[in-house]
Each structure stands twice: as C-alpha cells, then as structure tokens.
Chains A and B, each alone.
Chain A
Amino acid sequence: MNKYLAICFCFIPLSFSSCVKDVTLDAKEKPRVAVVCILNDEDPVQKLRLSFTKGASLSSAPLLTEASAILYEDNVFVGEFQRAENNDWRLEFTPKPCLSYRLEIDVPGYDKITATQSMPMERAAVRSVKYTLFQNCIEPWSGWDIRWDDLHDMGYESWPESEEYPDEEYLYVLFSTKSPVWVYAMNYNTDTGKRELAERICTDSYPVSNENAYDAVYVPLTLEAPNPPYKLSLPYEQKYGETYHSAHTMELYPTLSNKPLHDYFLRFTEETADVFYLSGSFNGKYCKTQDGIWAEAGEIAEDEGFLVFSTVSEDLDKYLLEAYKQIKINGSTDFSSIYIRDNLYSNISGGIGIFGACISRKYPWAAAYSYVDSGIPRSEIIEDVDGYIDPRMMH
C-alpha cells in the first residue's frame, strides 16, 4: 500500500504547473471614426483629419479613404473638404470671429457625423515689447525707451549684434481676452529638422491656471560675460570709482528665477496685471518681430522657433485640458494609471475627436542674458541716477 500511495503522491508536483498566455483584450468592436478639425483664422487653408480607431490586436488602423465632409458657416454652405495626403482633407477658407460653423461628414457604413463650433469673439490682444540690452550695464534689465536715450546720451553703447547673445529681450502683455488664451513655444530641432513643443514654460505673470504646474522652479541658464572686463555704469563709477571686474555672470531672464515651471503651456483666463517675461526649455533660434517693438512675429524662417498665443473656443479649451491629462497618464510611472478608462472630451456626434476653433498668432522670443553679478551688493544698485527704483528689481 505504501508503494501505491507513493506513486499517487508523485502527482502532487503537477499541481503547481500553471500556464501564462498573452492576451490583447481586443473587444473587436467596430472602429470609430476619429475627426480632427481646428479652425484657425491665421491659415487660409483649413485642415480636416479623418481616421479610424485601431483595435488593440491590429498593427495599424484601417485606412479611411472614402468620405464626404462639408463645412457650413451660419448654415450657409462654405465648401467641401478635398482629400489630400494621408488622412488629411483640405478646404481653402478663412473662418471669421464670432460666426458659427457646422461640419457634416458621411463615411460609408456609418451614421452621419456632425459637429458644430463657434469661432472665438476676438483674438487676445497681445503685445510683445522689445528691449535693447546694454553692454557694460550692471542693471539686470534694460530700461524703458526713454532710458535708452538717456543711456545712449551718456555714452553707453548697445550690445554688439551677435547671434549667440542677442541684444534684445521681449516682454509681453495680454490685454482684453474673453476666451482662454493658451501660450506655448515651438522649438526648432536641428537634428530632426522639425519643430517640437517646448516641454517647460515659465512666466512671472498672474493669473495663470495651474493644471499643468510642474514640480520644479525656473533656474536661469548662466554664462560668463563674453567681453570681460566691464566697467561699472556711470553713476556707480562716480560712487565707487572706476573698477574693473575680471569675471561676471549673466542669466537668462533672471527675473523668472524661482518662478514655477509649467508643462508645455500657460493658460490665461483673464488679462494680465502687467507686462511679463516668458522663458522655459526654449532651444535654438527664435524669430523676431516684423517691425517696431509693438508687433507680432515677422517672417519666420524654417529653422526658427516661435511663441504662439492662441485664443481658443470653449470646446477646444476642454479638449486641450483633457488631452494634456491623457498625455501625462500615458507617460506616468504610477502603476495605478493603467486602470484609468477616461475618454477624451469629444464634441463629435456620431464619432469621436474634436471640432475646435482658435485665433492664433505667432510671436517672437529672444534668449536674452542679463548681468546679475557685479560684485557690488544688490541693495546698492537698485537706485538709479534719478532716484527711480524699478519695481521689477524688488523681488
């Protein structure tokens, strides 16, 4: 009996064997039609992207090649999108502020797809203000126009023109907006030859919404001054005597130091209290103003980056906020994120996607460095010749 039982107990090891298989959990539902169309009055050609969703077990989504897409403006026929390349469809048309638009799409085998949208009432009034930096000037910012004249009269020369160290910096002010304004930067990547969204952006302006606050502060890039030594500016030379310094430091927008960074964008929901700076992970060359100092970007070369100020419709605002959340979830290291099953905001009836509207303009930016370290205590230099104390120093 013992021998028989021993044979029987040999079956026990097989109890532990288990099998593991991959499973795609593809529900194999009928692909949905994804619609992307963001009307923009800056472009004379409006783009529409139509595609099918891709199931989990498929290597690529089925191609959507047959469709009819018509745009209406205040219920008046505008035109039909024509198929261009890949999933892009195009229509030569410029939308107008305050008007409402309707998109009707027919895809064989699907119910009619519709969406409506209104263009924002007006574009956000944004001014970029160009300032000229001065060599041999220990104040960490340039002055107002009038001070430029004063300083020039005093014999100070402006910063030598240099591609590496531009003699301009830009401040911005946002007047009068009734819709949310999204601000972001597009860097030009010399390696890929494409423009990419800058990952971090920072401002010293309020109010800015904090959905995308990043857990870090702005730390200005620094570099040694290109032309040491330098002289103190005239008033301080009078006070301290002619002094030469062998080394000094410059920072990229030092007034933004310790300001909170944001992921990808800044979202303004009302006009700003004052002028403000912008900086962040802005790399490469950036475009300049077209003329004067109160202007948007001039002609933008293919290898130049730019800032975008975009006044968005309510639907587009909701969509962008949720798109940001989903991008963060996709890259999250929090394991519980795999259990999130939220869908992106969609205003497409009969499909998914976004039919949005925005009024966007491009703006310049400059990698402006300012002196921050002169060896003289900061408290000694906040008072200028006329006793004027620039409030931007007081932080």
Chain B
Amino acid sequence: MRRLLTVILGIVLSIPVLAQMTIKDGMVQIADRHGINFVYDPSLPVDSPYNGRSLSRGSLDDNLASLFKGSGIVWEKRKQFVVLTAAKPEIPIEIYATISDRVPDADTLLAAVKTDTKRLDRSIGHLQTGLEGIRGIISPLGEGDPIRWAQAMPGVTTGADGATAMYVRGGNSGNNLFSLDDVPVYGYAHILGLTTIVPSQVMESAALSKGGFDGAESNFTSAHLRIVSKAPSERQQTSFAINNFLVSASAEGPISNKLSYLVSARISPLSLEYKAVRGALPSILSGLDNFKATVGDAYAKLQYKITSRHTLDASFLGSIDNYGFDTPDSSHEVMGWNNMVGMLRYRWEGDITKFDVTASINKYGSQQKQDKTFRETDNHLSLQSNLTEYGLKTGLSHAFLNGRFTLGEGINLRYATFAPGQVGEETRSINTLLATGWLQGEFKIPDHLYVKGAFRLNHFRNYDLLPTEGLAKPFRVVPGKHTNPEYGLSLKWNIAEHFAFEATYDKMFQYYHTLEGLPIGWSLDMIVPTGESVLPESSEQGSVNFAGEFGAHSISIGGFYKRLENLIYYKYSQALFSGALSTWEQDVELGNGRSYGLEALYEYAKGDWYARVSYTLSKTTREDFPSFYDGAPFHARFDRLHVLNATAQWKGLTATLILQSGGWENGAAETYKMPFLGTDFEADFFSGINNYHMPTVIRLDLGYQFNFKTGKVDHTLNLSICNVTNHFNPFMLYYDTNTESWKEMALLPIMPNLSYRISF
C-alpha cells in the first residue's frame, strides 16, 4: 500500500503547474467574464501571486473562492458588486443576507461573511456548500456528490456502506425530501447508490436542512437536501470527464443575448469494464456472475432572461439504472429504477419583492426481481413501484422596514398516481391530490436576533381508481382525505460577538410513504400514498444549538428530540410477492417513533489546512406497533449510536475517517423441538425484529486532487483510495439457496478511484 501511494504521488508531482499570475489579474478576468465590479481598499494584497486553477470556467462563486483562497482577503457579493475586505481576527457570527442595490458601506455590512470557502455555510438547522465542497468529498467515483456530503454532516446516519441512503434525526430515508430546484426527485440514487443522478457539472450548491424549515418546504418529515442548479455560463464552455463508473460530457453557454443553455449527459461503461475484467482477472469477480448494467442520465436547461428581473427556465432531468447479476448460488437478480423530471419556471426579482411560479412533471419507477431455484423448484419474486406527479406552485415574498421584516406566501399543488405491485402484473393505480398553502414571516435585528415563523395548511385527497365500466367519471372518491396544519419556528440570538444560541421547532406532515418492513435483501423504495387506513405520517421536532467562531476554529454543539407518528410497517413480508400487494393497505400496521441525540460540528480552516469533525450520538426507536414486542420500543433499522466523520485536507490531499456503529437487521430464528401428533419437529422462534446488530462500519479514505492547465484546456485529476484498510463493511444481505443460509456482500473493499476532467 505504501509503495502504491508513493507511485501515485510521484506521478502527481511530475505534472506541470500553472503559470504565475497575480490576484489582480484574476480580478480583471473575473470582472470581464462575469460582468461585475470589485470594490476594495487598495491596501489589500491584490498584487500577490495567484497559483490556483484557471478562472476561465466555473461559476462566479467558485472563481472568487479559488482566487482569494489563503490570501487574507474576504469577499462578499452584492448584486453586480463584489466587496473585498481584509480578514479580521475577530469575525462576527453569520447572520443573513439582505437585498439591496446600493453600494454597500464596508463598515456596516449586514451580510454573511465567508472566511474560507471550504467552511460550511451554517445557520439555524441549515448547512450549505458550493460545488467545490461537494466535489472535495472522497467517493468511489473519484469525486463527491451531494448525498455523500450530507452523509458527513451531524445528525445524519447512512444505510449500507457506500450507498446513498440517508437517515436524518431518526427519520427513514423515505422521510427526506431530495429536490432539484425545489422539484422533488424520488429516485435520486445512481449506480447502486454510489452517487446521485444529478451531475456535478450542473450544480451550483447543495443545502441540507434538518430543522427550521421554510414555509415552501412540505410533504416530508425529516430533512430536505436541496440541490440548486447553476445558471448557464455567460461564455461557451465544454467539459468531459471520466471516472471508474461514468463517462460524461457537458456544454453550456449563450445562444443569444437573452437565451443560454446547459446540457449534460453521462453513461456508465460498467458492462464493458466487467467483460474486460472478467476475461483478464476472473478470480476477482467471485461475487458476481453475468453482470449487466444500463446506467445513464441526461440533463438539459434553457434559460431565457426576459429582462434583468424576469427569467424563464425550462429544464429536464432523466436517468436510468438497470442491473442484472447472478449471485454465487446461481440465483439471478435484476434491479432498476428510472426518473424523468421536467420543470418550467418563471421568476421575477424586484428590489424588495420576489415572485415565482413553477410547473413540473415527475415520473419515478423502480423494480426488483429475483429468480431463485429453491429446493429444486423455480421461484420468481418481484416488486415494483411507480409514481407520476404533476406539480404547480407559486411563491411571493416582500421585504418591509428596510429588509428587517419579510413576508412570504404561496400555494403548492400536486396531483400524483401511485402503482405498487408485481413486475409484469396489472397493478391498481391510486390517484391523489395534495394542496398546500403556506405563509412565512422573518424578523431580524441585525447582529442580534433573527426569528422566523412558518405556517402551512395541507389538504390531501386519495381518489381510488376503480374499473370505469358504466361510470361517467373514471374515478370515485373514497373517504381518504386529510387536512393538517403545519408550523415551524426558528430563532437565532447572538449572545456575544462570537457566540450564538439557536433553536428550532417544526411540526410536519407527509403523505407519500416509503414502506418499511421489506424483507432482508429487498431494497427498492415502495412508495405508497396516504389513504383511509394509512394516515399521514407526522413529526414534531425541537432542537437547540450553541455555535461559536474563534478565529480559525468554529464549533457548534446541540441536541434534538423528535417524535414521529403514524409510521407504517408492512407486516406480512411474504404477501408482498403475491397478488395480496394490491390490498397492501390492509397489511400495514401503524406505529410511532422517537429519536433524540447530540450533534457536534467542529471546523478548522487556516491557510492550506482544513479539518472538519462531525459527531452524532443518538438513539432511534420504533414503538407502539401492536404486532411487535406488544408495542414496546425496538431499534429502528438505522439506529446507529455513534456516527463520526472526520476530514482533514492540506492543499490537494484529503483524508477521511468514517466510524459508525452498526445498524440493525432482523435476526435469524432460534429453534426448539415441539410435538405434532406423536412426532417432533423443529420450530422457529423469532424473538423480535431489528434485533441483529450489524458490525461497526470503519472506513479510511485517502485522496488527492490537482489541477493543471495545458494551453486553453483545464485539467482536474482526482486520485483516491476508498477503504484503505480494506475493512469488510456489508453492503447487502442475500439468501444462498444452495446452503440455505444468509450471506453478506461488501461493495467497497479497498478501491482505488480515478476521476479525470477536462474543460475548455
């Protein structure tokens, strides 16, 4: 291993570096490219050399971050101006951003202050990062993705090692909202969960909200991972990238003065790679036979700037994932999912008023099939879940009292069709309508206090689609309607100059459910709607937090308590695979959940050094399910007592340590001898569910990123090794029909990764 790292570093250090230029040169380049003006004190060290990456590509934020990194200069965007100030040893706590088109007075800045681009943007219940922060995460694809970034945050636990499942403060993965430009994406996992379907080339930022939700956020009960796509570049840019699993291409730029575009496509050569390796090194592939994969995604965006205040955006995202393979017992497994998300948005941004309206269509489908020969009999099991959603929403906000008070309101309408069932069988479709009206108020006393209150009123209806013979209308209304108010409160109080107290309270409802209780080894998301007997899930959560910034150090420590109600659990796993699935609502049981814990986040950023440690100590249980433990509490499947993520970065080198307590699976039966009509047989006794403690996940990842330029082409190379210690961290469990026993499979043994990107 040491020899391997030496070789890698040797290769890396032999690469030629960028030519010298000054920070001021970079400022001129950025001003020309992005059409902005710099406002700064001439005493700032703008004549210092700049040794970073090329500034001819990337977003404004990325280029500013790269230009001023480590220079002692702090920058802040104010519409068409960028204000530069010197980094001060005592840095005020971040508050909020106000909107104004006047030239700002540097001494009276009310805006958020960045001291280092790697540092998270952290506010009440909210964490945000830019593209550099996302790509800096080590991952099996060579560069990170938003889910992996979010998984490293406090309060977040993961599912199987390497997968993109995310459990926040005790909620299930189906309790999270993953959105792209505020349109939900229901099947965001890509390549068996190694990455997400949104390519990094189209991302502007990622934000994780765990509490203190905005009024416009609804239909989830845990967390919101919000991806914002970037605006197309004002100059023509093209890029290509390749990593272990994906080949991608993207292009963006202006079509006319007002119209610009952004397109991206990715495809996976997994099948070709498998065949090549199978021929050359068959012994490596002992766990996979006949592997086939069809993986790809495409994104397109058109932006039309009607005026400087009016914008029209149209975008499309499509993805496909299909995998087939044989397990060592000659069973054949097929799994796949696909997404299609289309969006049309109009926005108007005034000085103190903003308005937007969005229409969207969202299609998600997933399936899993197993063909097994069990005791000399062929068995075919399958499950599928399909969801189609049409959405229309509006939002209006207005600032008063010189920006100290903001009022927002809006409406969100969603019409959806659900179709869970068996693959190839006729499934019963269920139509639903969810209407949400929301109201939000924010009040600020700069440098001292921030308060936000949000209110939502939801109305949900379930239209059970019946055969239409003889009926004038294609559906009839069944009594599956619910009206539920939601509310939230956020508070931030700057106790002292470097110290703040934060608190949140949220009451949320969710009407789309991901069924828990799927059998071991079945991992697709079976999404079903609220109905007459399946009530809306709800959560009630409170959190408190203390945050401080002391020079290069920032720390936040807090705790949360959450209570979940009307969680649904599918009781009869075997019935999932029969026609009984069409009556799934009769086979679920409702119960509750509870989660509480401590969250801590520490960051250090100085010069070329950056370190972040995130730790969560929590307990998550499920309870009040009559069929399990007579309603007594039991472990949630992802109840991990300790979760530690530690990252250290120096120049381009990154080391990440992940330590997580094991999750919980259904334990195997105990056996005992029992009589039956004069004979004896071996009976099974299941003492409970989620009672087998999976082993601790330990993973050490090392990576190196470097940039260089040849002519007009910018190169970025990421080299990394995931799981340097080759620790066995199970990814999935499956049942070996030959030995009639369970086996666990790890997806991430020691795995070198490579990602190479060029742009021009």
Report A's interface with B, CB cutoff 8 A. 1, 4-5, 7-9, 11-27, 29, 31-32, 34, 36, 38, 49, 51-56, 61, 182, 184, 186, 195-197, 264-265, 308, 320, 323-324, 326-327, 330, 332-344, 352-354
Contacts and interface: CB of A to CB of B under 8 A. Distances in A.
Given A15-B273, A16-B274, A320-B677, 6 more contacts: A11-B753, A17-B285, A17-B751, A25-B667, A34-B685, A56-B667
B100 interface: no
Contact of B669 (A11, A17, A56, A197): A56
Contacts of A61: 671-672
Contacts of A22: 741-743
Contacts of A330: 681-682, 684
Contact of B746 (A18, A54, A342): A18
Contacts of B400: none
B687 interface: yes
Nearest to B739: A22
Contacts of B15: 1
A29 B375 CA distance: 30
Given A13-B284, A17-B285, A335-B381, A308 B678 contact: yes
Contact of B273 (A16, A56, A333, A342): A16
A9 B281 CA distance: 15
Nearest to A319: B674
B652 interface: no
A173 to B, nearest CB: 22
B280 interface: yes
Nearest to B327: A20
B744 interface: yes
From A23, A182, A320, name the one whose CB has the most chain B CB atoms within 10 angstroms: A23
A19 B281 CA distance: 15
A7 B11 contact: yes
A14 B372 contact: no
B754 A344 contact: no
B677 A265 contact: yes
B284 A16 contact: yes
B288 interface: yes
B689 A51 contact: no
15 contacts: A1-B15, A13-B277, A13-B284, A18-B747, A19-B287, A20-B328, A24-B741, A27-B687, A53-B672, A56-B669, A56-B670, A332-B375, A334-B377, A338-B519, A341-B573
Contact of A195 (B372, B678, B735): B678
Nearest to B375: A333
A308 B678 CA distance: 10
B377 to A, nearest CB: 3
The 3 closest A-B pairs by CB, nearest first: A27-B667, A333-B377, A11-B752
Given A23-B742, A323-B676, A341-B689, A15 B281 contact: no
B745 interface: yes
A24 B733 CA distance: 11
Given A14-B284, A56-B670, A320 B370 contact: no
B661 interface: no
From A13, A26, A340, name the one whose CB has the most chain B CB atoms within 10 angstroms: A13
A1 to B, nearest CB: 8
From A18, A22, A32, A184, name the one whose CB has the most chain B CB atoms within 10 angstroms: A18
Nearest to A55: B670
A12 B244 contact: yes
Contacts of B519: 338-339
B728 A18 contact: no
B577 interface: yes
Contacts of A38: 675
B374 A326 contact: no
Contacts of B372: 335
